[in-house]
């Protein structure tokens, strides 16, 4: 099998959960390097358990009270063994944009592409 390079691509990385009750983690960013141990991103992480979508309004920002928290943009080394999947995002991403509700009920970044963060069916424990 031919080696594939994620370098310089924008990605959405979903992390594996190793125990019941562990927060779900999604990273969105640009791959700045990779090696046999890890993927290195410049981007943001989003952490959530059960997100409350009752009364959600499209375009409204999510916050900790909604069940979603995020960290500032930084470089992160993510071990391959902890990654559930990597989704390549075709267009550039403003990963500093706020997370908002989409009209579909999904969570997206408030950037020009409405970059997908997580779906409504992924909010449960």
Model pLDDT for residues 41-58, shown as the tens digit of each residue: 999 999 887 676 666 788
On whether residue 3 sits in a domain, the answer given is no
Residue listed under structure tokens 């069916």: 121
CB 68 within 8 A of CB 46: yes
Q: How far apart are CA 54 and CA 31, in angstroms?
A: 35
Residue listed under structure tokens 């059960």: 50
Whole-number pLDDT of residue 2: 66
On whether residue 14 sits in a domain, the answer given is yes
The C-alpha torsion from 41 through 120 and 18 to 76, rounded to 10°, is 10
Q: What share of the chain is helix, strand, coil (3-state, %, to 5)?
A: 5, 45, 50
| pTM of the predicted protein model | 0.84
On whether residue 33 sits in a domain, the answer given is yes
Whole-number pLDDT of residue 125: 47
Q: Which residues contact 62 (CB under 8 A, 6 or more apart)?
A: 51, 68, 98, 99, 100, 101, 107
Q: Which domain holds residue 28?
A: 10-122
On whether residue 2 sits in a domain, the answer given is no
Under-70 pLDDT residues of the chain: 1-2, 21-22, 50, 52-55, 65, 120-125
On whether residue 94 sits in a domain, the answer given is yes
Whole-number pLDDT of residue 60: 83
On whether residue 5 sits in a domain, the answer given is no
On whether residue 90 sits in a domain, the answer given is yes
On whether residue 1 sits in a domain, the answer given is no
Whole-number pLDDT of residue 121: 62
Domains identified in the chain, total number: 1
């Amino acid at each position: 099998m031919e080696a594939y390079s994620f370098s310089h691509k924008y990605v959405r990385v979903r992390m594996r959960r190793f125990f019941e009750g562990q927060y779900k983690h999604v990273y969105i960013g640009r791959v700045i390097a990779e090696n046999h141990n890890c993927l290195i991103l410049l981007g943001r992480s989003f952490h959530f358990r059960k997100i409350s979508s009752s009364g959600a309004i499209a375009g409204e920002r999510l916050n900790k009270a909604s069940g979603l928290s995020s960290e500032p943009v930084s470089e992160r080394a993510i071990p391959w063994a902890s990654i559930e999947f990597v989704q390549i995002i075709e267009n550039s991403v403003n990963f500093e944009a706020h997370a908002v509700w989409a009209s579909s009920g999904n969570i997206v970044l408030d950037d020009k592409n409405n970059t997908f963060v997580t779906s409504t069916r992924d909010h449960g424990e």
